[in-house]
Amino acid sequence: MPSQAQQPVSVVMVGISGMGFYYLKALLEEFSPDKVKLCAVVDPFPEKSECYSEIKNRGIPIFYSLHEFYGGGNSAELVVISSPIHYHVSQSCEALQHGSYVLCEKPIGATIQDAEHLIRMRDTTQRWVMIGYQWSYSSAIQALKRDILKGLLGKPLCLKTLCFWPRDEGYYKKSSWLGKKKDETGNWILDSPANNAMAHFLHNLFYVLGDRIETSAKPVEVTAELYRTYPIENFNSIACRVFTQEGTELLFYASHAVPQDRGPMFSFKFENAEVTYGERVDNIVAKDNQGNEKFYGSPEGDNNLQKLFDAVAAVREPKPVICGPEAARSQTLCVNGIQESVPEIVTFPESILLQQKETKMRRAKGLAEVFYECYQKGILPCEVDLSWARKGRSIDLRNYLYFPGGAPPGNQGEQKS
């Protein structure tokens, strides 16, 4: 009988549509049977997945919840979670409590208290958790971060990133939780470009500045501008300024209310060099003060599911987790501050709203140009003479432990005005 090290890793896939479809295809097509055994899938609506017929044909068991899976006496070494944001922490914790390791798709969750709860559960169960920010697993970002840690680029001064990905009205009708702050039972979701589609690039600002490979820099203050073009609860366009514990300025610009794709791109200014990506070439390039260049490759150059291959390998050969809850919680803390900065989302005025009849794509006239100009200059729209720009409050995140309000109920701390 083969030893456990020689047996295939038993895997449960939670969420088999959306991003879960790509995880599932990889598990079905890119791992040999002697490496991975997909012992079940979990989804309340499995028939919506493009892989549903293949799952049925292969005889892979289908469960409607993790509770049903574990309640039937089943077990799995690895649980891959690609469900909506507000299920990430509860499902991760349930998997940990039943002895499974976890790869959870980004973000870690909706609130900082949820993130801290997952960290405590991980420590109690002594199982690892990976969070699926795919850039963090890329060789290009890892090489850049190592050079930053070595001090080769000097002190970080200002890091900024921009991404435009248009989304039409139909996007928000695909799932009931998209564009929502809460679900129907009151659980926080905080779906937005900063916490869903472009969360990777907000996270990356913190991740590359972490004091170790497995950590991220911590935000201590955030000021945001939040806008929307559709009648959704949350925002679909954001510009924000963040300061880290070390005093580095971070700027983030993202929108779904634009006519065409642009980015992701970034520009990282250090004392001794500037690092750029995405605007002119799809390669991370560091140019020092003497004009010398170093090329790191593209963060999109590796398999976008490298995180899955790493997770499967780590079940048999444990190694340090390079993007776990400690690395991921800075993005969550920042998102909580962003939402506190602008409690009431600003709807763009009708005078600048444009709608395409065919796609029902509603965008803000000139927004892409304004955000890009702000990105180049390192400013916010409220610092330009714009009638629609509305600056949010500056939120102190130094002792922020609970969303909303910063402190648990009954112990609410004051925020900066």
* pLDDT tens-digit readout, 62-90: 999 999 999 999 999 999 999 999 999 99
Using only the alpha carbons of the chain, give its radius of gyration: 21
What pLDDT is attached to residue 412? 53
CB neighbourhood size of 313 (10 A): 13
Dig out the tokens for 144 from the structure: 């850049």
Distance CA 96, CA 158 (A): 38
- Contacts of 7 by beta carbon, 8 Å cutoff, 6+ apart: none
pLDDT tens profile 158-208: 999 999 999 998 999 999 999 999 999 999 999 999 999 999 999 999 999
Q: Which CATH number is associated with domain 4-135?
A: 3.40.50.720
What stretches in the chain show pLDDT beneath 50? 1, 413-417
319, with CB counted inside 10 A (0-12, 13-18, 19+), is exposed
SS3 237: strand
CB neighbourhood size of 245 (10 A): 15
Please give the sequence-ordered ranges of beta strands (E in DSSP) within 156-291, or none if there are none. Answer: 156-164, 219-228, 237-244, 249-255, 262-270, 273-277, 284-288
CB neighbourhood size of 58 (10 A): 10
pTM of the predicted structure, to 2 decimals: 0.96
Distance CA 189, CA 86 (A): 5
Distance CA 397, CA 336 (A): 9
Residue of 231, 90, 113, 122 lying closest to 172 (CA atoms): 231
What pLDDT is attached to residue 3? 58
pLDDT tens profile 23-63: 999 999 999 999 999 999 999 999 999 999 999 999 999 99
- Contacts of 47 by beta carbon, 8 Å cutoff, 6+ apart: none
What pLDDT is attached to residue 409? 79
Fold classified for 139-300+325-396: Dihydrodipicolinate Reductase; domain 2 (3.30.360)
Interior CA angle at 101 toward 189 and 43, to 5°?
50
Q: Considering the chain, tell me which residue range(s) the CATH 3.30.360.10 domain(s) occupy.
A: 139-300+325-396
Distance CA 317, CA 371 (A): 45
What pLDDT is attached to residue 51? 92
What pLDDT is attached to residue 4? 65
Distance CA 73, CA 83 (A): 22
Quick one: which H or E segment has residue 306?
A: helix 306-316
Going from the C-alpha of 36 to that of each of 9, 69, 384, the distances in angstroms are: 5, 18, 54
- Contacts of 297 by beta carbon, 8 Å cutoff, 6+ apart: 138, 139, 140, 143, 283, 284
